[in-house]
Amino acid sequence: MTLPVKFCHLLLIVGTAATTLTLPALAYQASLIPASRLINPDELVKILQTAKSEKPLTIQVGSHVLYTQAHIPGSEYIGPASSESGLQLFRKRMEPLPRNKFIVLYCGCCPWSHCPNLKPAADALHAMGFTNVKVLYIANNFGADWVDKGYPVAKGD
């Protein structure tokens, strides 16, 4: 059984359109970050609490309102890396740093697979040549996976 040519063309057009519309949305999902670049909350807490270990520069790339309510002590807020302006600020802050600097990125705005901020920030660091970058894996959100676990928290700016 063969399908009519017009129907096949229609399928092709719909398929192409769907792929074109979907790919940009997928491109910034945190779930595309390789597992080798991730760090779990408990691992980061151990590093932060171990006196002799090298402390990373920890950067929140999400919302300022969320950062003000609760953030990892000592971490910096830069801005949502999902926007071009946020990404520019991010690159500007990172530019002077040595490329082997230990950096941990985190957000926690949304469930992991939906976070729009981490992938662009991680990709930007990779493109800039940073070699020691980890991304904090927060499965659901910063409240559930960090604050509620009793990990250290700071408030305010």
Partner 1 sequence: MAGLGILKKGIPRGLALIVVVAGLYFMARHHGVPAGVRGTGTSEQPLAPDFSLPDLTGRKLDLSSYRGKVVLLDFWATWCDPCREEIPHFVELQNEYGDQGLQIIGVSMDDGPEPVRDFYQRFKMNYPVVMGNAKTGELYGGVLGLPIAFLIGRDGRISARHIGVADVSVFEKEIVNLLRSRAGSSSPGS
Residues binding partner 1 (CB under 8 A):
25, 63-66, 68-70, 79-80, 82-83, 108-111, 114, 116-117, 140-144, 147-148, 150, 155
Q: Which amino acid appears at position 110 of this protein?
A: C
41 vs 116 by CB, closer to partner 1: 116
Shortest Cβ 65–partner 1 spacing (Å): 5
Shortest Cβ 143–partner 1 spacing (Å): 3
94 vs 107 by CB, closer to partner 1: 107
How far apart, in whole angstroms, are the C-alpha atoms of residue 127 and residue 79?
Answer: 19
44 vs 66 by CB, closer to partner 1: 66
102 vs 111 by CB, closer to partner 1: 111
Supply 87's token pair: 């990404």
Shortest Cβ 5–partner 1 spacing (Å): 35
49 vs 68 by CB, closer to partner 1: 68
Shortest Cβ 95–partner 1 spacing (Å): 22
The DSSP secondary structure of the chain, one letter per residue, reads ----HHHHHHHHHHHHHHHHHHHHHHHT-GGGS-GGGEE-HHHHHHHHH-TTSPPPEEEE-S-HHHHHH-B-TTPEE---TTSHHHHHHHHHHHTTS-TT--EEEE--SS-GGG-SSHHHHHHHHHHHT--SEEEE--SS-HIIIIITTT---B---
**DSSP bridge partners of 71:** 154
Shortest Cβ 86–partner 1 spacing (Å): 9
